[in-house]
Amino acid sequence: MRLTARGVGVDGPHGTLLEPTDVDVARGDAVLVAGMPGTGHTALALALGGRMAPHRGRVLVDGADDPAALRRRVAVVDTPGVSEPEPALTLGTVVGEELAMAGRRAWRRQVADWLGQRAAGEWSGRRFEDVPADVRIDLMLALAATRPAVDVVVLTGPDRHGGSPHTWWRMARNCASTGYAVVVTCADTSAAVLDVPCFRIGAGTAEGGPGHDGIAEAPAGGDGPDDESTVGGRS
């Protein structure tokens, strides 16, 4: 499975939301997309997930221009104003809603068991905004992995929650190692800390042509799985 964006750009009512951007990721890999904080991160996530039609360029899944397949196979995770959980909800409520949307049982017992298996039961009754960044990100990745038919996970701006970039990057790579293609957007400062190859928002091919030229080499899955992550494998 492969997700490829060629020169994807998005316009808004008052100007450009996303300058042409390239992304290329395959199953088992995690790639980083860096750029200045702003609307570009959200627009890119929505375009990759088939939730927003790009004004320029294309997003291909296994070489096909298929927005319906993108919506089915790409999970857009923790995207501000879109899929970011309501901060005042308890963690238990957020988990219950996500499990229900994935078609799984989501009664109090199932939610408690799910959190307990991930050593996060102590946070169940806490407001989502008060859950530590590393716990929050790890659980959001794990919840994305419960959704049927999902092959790609797009995690938007985990660095906005604070903490070490190395922590969420390790979690993203671990998620990829369980059989997903993972895209993480972040600020340029976080990319500099990680010091790994990455795609750049606004540095894509101008026309988004079908060839591979213009696509920079992105980081692969990294050094392999890390036992500290609790992201589950494919079912």
Cβ-based neighbours of 200, under 8 Å, separated by 6 or more: 21, 33, 34, 35, 216
The pLDDT score that the predictor gives to residue 223 is 43
H/E segment holding residue 200: strand 199-200
Q: 77: which strand partners?
A: 155
Three-state DSSP class for 76?
Answer: strand
User: 227 falls in which pLDDT band (50, 70, 90)?
Assistant: very low
CA–CA distance, 11 with 13 (Å, rounded to integer):
7
pLDDT in tens, 147-200: 999 999 999 999 999 999 999 999 999 999 999 999 999 999 999 999 999 999
Q: Burial letters for 63-102: b for 16+ Cβ neighbours within 10 Å, e otherwise?
A: eeeeeebbebbbbbbbbeeebbbeeeebbbbbbbbbbeeb
Q: What's the half-sphere exposure (Cβ side, CA atoms, 13 Å) at 47? A: 31
Span between the terminal Cα atoms of the chain, in Å: 16
Q: Which of 18, 1, 17 is nearest to 199 (CA)?
A: 18
pLDDT in tens, 190-225: 999 999 999 999 998 754 333 333 333 444 444 443
CA–CA distance, 111 with 201 (Å, rounded to integer):
37
Query: Considering the entire predicted model, what is its pTM?
Result: 0.86
The pLDDT score that the predictor gives to residue 203 is 92
The pLDDT score that the predictor gives to residue 206 is 56
Please report how the helices 91-101 and 133-144 are oriented relative to each other, as an axis angle in degrees rounded to 10.
10
The pLDDT score that the predictor gives to residue 218 is 45
User: 51 falls in which pLDDT band (50, 70, 90)?
Assistant: very high
Top-tier CATH class for 2-84+150-200: alpha beta
